[in-house]
Amino acid sequence: MANAIRALAMDAVQKANSGHPGMPMGAADIATVLFTKFLKIDPRQPNWPDRDRFVLSAGHGSMLLYAVNYLLGYEDMTIEQIKNFRQLGSITAGHPEYGHAAGVETTTGPLGQGISTAVGMALAERLLAARFGEKIVDHFTYVLASDGDLMEGVSHEAIGLAGHLKLSRLIVLYDDNEITIDGALSLSESGDALKRFEAAGWNATRIDGHNPAEIAAAIEKAQKSDRPSLIACRTVIGYGAPNKRGKSSSHGSPLGDDEIVLARETLHWNAEPFVIPNETLDAWRIAGLRNVKARKNWEEQLAALPAETRIDFERRIAGDLPADLGKAIAAFKEKLVAEKPKWATRKSSEEALNIINSVLPDTIGGSADLTGSNNTRSKGQQAVTAEDFSGSFIHYGIREHGMAAAMNGLALHKGFIPYSGTFLVFTDYCRPAIRLSALMGQRVIYVMTHDSIGLGEDGPTHQPVEHLASLRAMPNLLVFRPADAVETLECWQLALESKDAPSILALSRQNLPAVRTENSEKNLCARGAYELVPASSKAKVSLLATGSEVEIAVAAQKMLEKEGIPARVVSMPCLDLFDRQSSDFQKEILGEDTVKIAIEAAVRYGWDRYIGADGDFIGMTGFGASAPAPELYKHFNITPEAAVAAAKARLEEKS
Ligand SMILES: Cc1ncc(C[n+]2csc(CCOP(=O)(O)OP(=O)(O)O)c2C)c(N)n1
């Protein structure tokens, strides 16, 4: 049965003339034992909520997963798909991509991400079990990881978190083949992986990864453990290829026709390429049917739940929001408009969360050790511990990257809307995982506070300047930068409603005045930008601003009007959403025939498309500095006076 995986992998890679045969051939025995004896999945119901999750962290070995899914009988994974490995339009992408093929639980390829995402899945399992009981939620998360996965720094964060939370249903099978691309692992590694995991609170053991009995015994033991488990499976990369086995040459290129002929002889595999002998295919297909009964039993358990609980479970798995959320948000908006609080937007976010978390049980909050700064913990929110998963706040520790990856896992598992915080400048530390949130279209909400030089004294190491631009450049990521409490609430609502895209909420450390002083039932942030302050007559100047600089735009508008220059203010909380609007809408909002002055305490990159040829930009041109925020705004010339001067100079040039 394992040779069926090997044959499909070497033949598909050969046909595609690209790919990675070594890993699937080496790990075929591990996968065969896992998928035919342990993994609780039903290929005919690939989204069964209580299925075990399998994460191929070594995503370059994608053919292993495609081969297994074909062999098990996933309907979409036909032999034609296997033959079209790595071709445009096929579901068999170079690296496994979430949403392409059933049974692919997460996108992998960037090493370290899979194992770290799996930590979030295993966490989700415990959290959901604490809410709905183990009759409904009771599954394992298995990972197949490579040397590269364990060498990547993010794995350190992930295993630390998993060990701390005692995620005992997380089982990592480590393809311990001692080979990477450059050659022997010993070229660059002399650490002891097992000791590292043990030190993080895991069980760790080493077995022969080609011995089915040892593999099965190790998994059985791991299933009973009270901690997460690492099973280092000593394997030979490219197992079966007589000249390339054990060598990095089998890692990432086709074996070649001659070597494949020899591998067929070595493995006693006589079938033609892409043909699996009936006997072997039948054995796999029967294994694929193993859990039909368990799945049906589970459906009965679900049906037996009180109707309200069942409906809530189904809603959460579907990712829908409860009906009363919109009402709660609308009522709070009215209150904010009336009270006009002068809060930092991070505080506004906390207040929004107090409302949201009281009506939305799906949220799982957190912070990378900046809870009091990020304001991500709402009233009464209990911390999750290894002993008690009923809480909804995670102390991720100083593990931004691991946190972001875990949030992907929480979202992918389904049942939760993860949000968590750090400083905006440290989105750099999360970026590979943010990119995967965006690529996979996952509703992960990044609460990123201290969003500019406005954070003040901590200085340029902590002051983001290029981050907004670089995050806005990422496809399918919504970057929100609200200006006051009402906008913050509206942006939170949009982030929650954005089922297929992650969001960044860039929030201020410093207090900001209320700029939205009239109630609007409509979410004015929904189209990305809107006219906040109209001109007294036909506008000559449009002041475009985001977040904390909207206040500056409002002051500049008043000054211009006083001087007889009709000016308007446009608040632009989400450029990504604004860019999706019709060009007529964009022109109208930006103000045709006006001089456009954009104000943002960040770099100009990306703003010229709104400013046009005769406008100007007030913002940063380099790194910030350490000083109180008001002084920094003056020092870097991000002031109403500077905006007025720029507007007047540009108007003069025009006339
Ligand atoms: C973050 C990241 N860096 C680099 C790569 C490119 N890459 C793919 S596999 C690999 C290492 C291969 O070694 P190992 O993880 O042991 O896999 P094996 O050779 O056993 O297949 C590298 C560097 C990657 N996929 N992700």
Catalytically annotated residue among 125, 351, 400, 551: 400
For residues 206 and 189, give the distance between their C-alpha atoms in angstroms, rounded to a whole number.
17
Q: pLDDT tens digits, residue range 216-262? A: 999 999 999 999 999 999 999 999 999 999 999 999 999 999 999 99
Distance in Å from the first CA to the final CA of the chain? 80
pLDDT in tens, 8-53: 999 999 999 999 999 999 999 999 999 999 999 999 999 999 999 9
**DSSP states of 268-296:** T--SPTT---HHHHHHHHHHHTTTHHHHH
Q: Which atom of ligand 1 is nearest to the CA of 23?
A: 21
pLDDT above 90: residue 655:
no
Distance CA 394, CA 377 (A): 9
* 445-449 sheet: strands from edge to edge: 393-395, 363-367, 417-423, 445-449, 503-507, 478-480
From 251, 401, 436, the mutation candidate for ligand 1 (largest count of ligand atoms within 8 A of CB) is 251
The amino acid at residue 44 is R
C-alpha dihedral, 450 to 453 to 459 to 462, nearest 10°: 40
Q: In the beta sheet, which residues pair with residue 78?
A: none
The residue behind tokens 């599954």 is: 139
- Closest to 237 in 3D by CA, of 146, 155, 172: 146
Tokens standing for 487? 């906008």
The sign of the dihedral angle between the CA atoms of 396, 401, 407, 412 is negative
The number of the ligand 1 atom at minimal distance from the alpha carbon of 180 is 13
How much is the pLDDT for 171?
99
Nearest to 617 by CA among 566, 534, 513, 544: 544
Mean pLDDT computed over 381-387? 98
The rounded distance, in Å, linking the Cα atoms of 547 and 480 is 9
Q: How confident is the model at residue 500 (pLDDT cuts 50, 70, 90)?
A: very high
Specify the residue for token string 């103000």: 591
Residues 6+ apart with CB under 8 A from 253: 18
Q: What is the pLDDT of residue 200?
A: 98
* The pTM of the whole model exceeds 0.95: yes
CA of 207 to the centre of ligand 1 (A): 22
Q: Is 306 exposed, middle or buried (0-12, 13-18, 19+ CB in 10 A)?
A: exposed
Q: How far apart are CA 583 and CA 514, in angstroms?
A: 30
173-192: average pLDDT:
98
Token pair listed for 296:
């049906």
Calculate Rg over the CA atoms of the chain: 27
Pocket of ligand 1 (CB under 6 A): 22-23, 58, 60, 109-111, 146-148, 152, 175, 177, 179-181, 237, 251
Residue the block writes with tokens 């074996």 = 255
Pick the atom of ligand 1 nearest to 177's CA: 20
Name the residue among 11, 480, 31, 436 with its Cα closest to residue 219.
Answer: 31
Burial class, 84, CB count within 10 angstroms (exposed 0-12 / middle 13-18 / buried 19+): middle
- Contact between residue 113 and residue 154 where contact means Cβ atoms under 8 Å apart: yes
Ligand 1 mutation pick, 146, 187, 436, max ligand atoms within 8 A of CB: 146
Does the pLDDT value for residue 545 go beyond 90? yes
Residue type, position 225, single letter: S
Q: Which atom of ligand 1 is nearest to the CA of 61?
A: 21
Distance CA 186, CA 51 (A): 38
* Residue length of the chain: 655
Mapped onto helix, strand or coil, the DSSP state of residue 420 is strand
Query: Would you call 400 a catalytic residue per the annotation?
Result: yes
Amino acid found at 91 = I
Structural contact between residues 395 and 386, judged by C-beta atoms closer than 8 angstroms: no
Quick one: pLDDT at residue 654? 87
Q: Where are the alpha helices (DSSP H) in 574-628?
A: 575-579, 583-590, 608-611
Cβ count within 10 A of residue 187:
11
Q: What is the pLDDT of residue 221?
A: 98
| Whether 376 contacts 352, CB under 8 Å | no
Question: What pLDDT digit, counting tens, does each position of 568-621 carry?
Answer: 999 999 999 999 999 999 999 999 999 999 999 999 999 999 999 999 999 999
Burial 22-42 (b: 16+ CB within 10 A, else e): bbbbbbbbbbbbbbbebbbbb
**Please, what is the average pLDDT of the chain?**
98
**How far does residue 477's CA lie from ligand 1's centre (Å)?**
27
Pick from 10, 25, 60 the residue to mutate for probing ligand 1's pocket: most ligand atoms within 8 Å of its CB. Answer: 60
